[in-house]
Amino acid sequence: MIRVGVIGASGYAGGELVRYLIGHPGVQITYLASGTYAGKHLSAAYPSLLGQDLPLCEVYDADSAADKADLFFQAQGNGIGMKVAPALLQYGKKFIDVPADFRLKDLDEYAHYYKMEHTAPELLEEAVYGIPELRADEIAKARLIANCGCYATGAILALAPVAASGIGDMDSIIVDSKSGVSGAGRSKLDVSGLFCEVNEGFKAYAVAGHRHTAEIEQELGALAKKDIKVSFTPHLIPQNRGILTTAYVDTGASTDELAALYNDFYLDKPFVVILEKGQQPNTKNVFGTNYCHIAVTLDQRTGRAIITSAIDNMGKGAAGQAVQNMNLMCDFEQTTGLMLPAVYP
């Protein structure tokens, strides 16, 4: 049994990690940090956890944490991972940072998008960008993982075969993404997050400026072995979970070549499912899971490939992927604790 801890347990990603970890046969949750719920059972934050055997929440403290667990998930927010990772790594712990602190290799990009100074730049080189379908070997050897961003996961999985194969024009990429609202987290309170403001409405936001642009470009650029620029537009869907990504790229490939490319690329990847022709991914079908459904369509009239991918932003886009990364780091089967199908409907 691996002893695991969750820092930021009362946020949405933290709560989702706890849910996955409760169902994981190889680990035990031995540490939970939450300032708001310190001294309380996590069911005070999530009554859905009533009856579950969990340690009480604590205010985060490095020594106490190090004493109680061997691997940590940090899910509290941007700017926290770079503060707590150094000490825990020094204690010999494994560390998976769910937010963005260790994702970008370029400090200027980090400063530009996150408006913060990085306080642990010395860890950036060893931090592995945690997307198991592309970096499983590195992840397995890593002690510090930068969990792939939610939008970035949907976009990278949709476009990785194109980037790696050279089958498309990498300057033509447009990523139009639509996300459920849980991505905004539980702690940001303003009018725009109220039920009545979100329900029965749909809008774009952060047009031409969203943070995940940088990691999408970094990872697809790495596959394509050149610098690339993408247009990325996020939108909010009036639903709790799910990201549907519609990606466009100019290509000279045929429908059959595209289908073959995607099926080959994801052949041994248990969580990526390439749909049959005529099917389209729906966020409902991956709700609460670590799966990613992908469809590839050639728009023959315009010579564009239209790739759609569906993930759960809290699953493959956050907690599920973090557990998948843990599985690789801890020598579990990659799929352990992650194979249950979506709750439907």
Catalytic residues: 150
218 lines the binding site for its own copies (CB under 8 A): no
d(CA 91, CA 65): 10
235 lines the binding site for its own copies (CB under 8 A): yes
Number of residues that bind its own copies (CB under 8 A): 86
**Dihedral angle over CA of 49, 94, 220, 232, nearest 10:** 40
- Per CB under 8 A, contacts with its own copies among 187-206 are 189-191, 193-205
- Per CB under 8 A, contacts with its own copies among 45-64 are 46-52
Beta carbon of residue 218, minimum distance to its own copies (angstroms, whole number):
14
Candidates 5, 14, 132, 288; binder of its own copies (CB under 8 A) is 288
Beta carbon of residue 240, minimum distance to its own copies (angstroms, whole number):
5
d(CA 13, CA 34): 13
Beta carbon of residue 161, minimum distance to its own copies (angstroms, whole number):
18
DSSP label at residue 149: P
d(CA 55, CA 1): 16
213: number of Cβ within 10 Å? 23
d(CA 8, CA 58): 10
d(CA 40, CA 34): 9
Closer by beta carbon to its own copies, 96 or else 249: 249
Site string for its own copies, 160-189 (x = CB under 8 A): --------------x-x-x-xxx---x--x
- Considering only the stretches 74-82, 121-129, 149-157, 334-342, report the one whose residues sit in contact with its own copies under the rule CB under 8 A: 334-342
- Considering only the stretches 75-83, 108-116, 156-164, 281-289, report the one whose residues sit in contact with its own copies under the rule CB under 8 A: 281-289
DSSP label at residue 314: T
Closer by beta carbon to its own copies, 82 or else 273: 273
Closer by beta carbon to its own copies, 28 or else 64: 28
- Per CB under 8 A, contacts with its own copies among 255-274 are 270, 273
- Per CB under 8 A, contacts with its own copies among 1-30 are 12, 15-16, 19, 22-23
Tell me how far CA of residue 311 lies from CA of 33, 201, 264, 317, in angstroms. Answer: 27, 21, 20, 7
Q: Which residues pair with 4 in a beta bridge?
A: 29, 71
Closer by beta carbon to its own copies, 50 or else 59: 50
d(CA 328, CA 334): 6
222 lines the binding site for its own copies (CB under 8 A): no
Closer by beta carbon to its own copies, 144 or else 296: 296
Residues 6+ apart with CB under 8 A from 275: 281, 293, 294, 295
Whether 177 contacts 213, CB under 8 Å? no
321 lines the binding site for its own copies (CB under 8 A): no
Beta carbon of residue 142, minimum distance to its own copies (angstroms, whole number):
27
Closer by beta carbon to its own copies, 118 or else 235: 235
293 lines the binding site for its own copies (CB under 8 A): yes
251 lines the binding site for its own copies (CB under 8 A): no
254 lines the binding site for its own copies (CB under 8 A): no
- Per CB under 8 A, contacts with its own copies among 75-94 are none
DSSP label at residue 56: P
- Per CB under 8 A, contacts with its own copies among 91-110 are none
Tokens describing residue 273:
């499912």
Please provide residue 149's backbone torsions phi and psi, each rounded to the nearest 5 degrees. -65, 160
Beta carbon of residue 85, minimum distance to its own copies (angstroms, whole number):
27
d(CA 230, CA 278): 27
d(CA 320, CA 242): 13
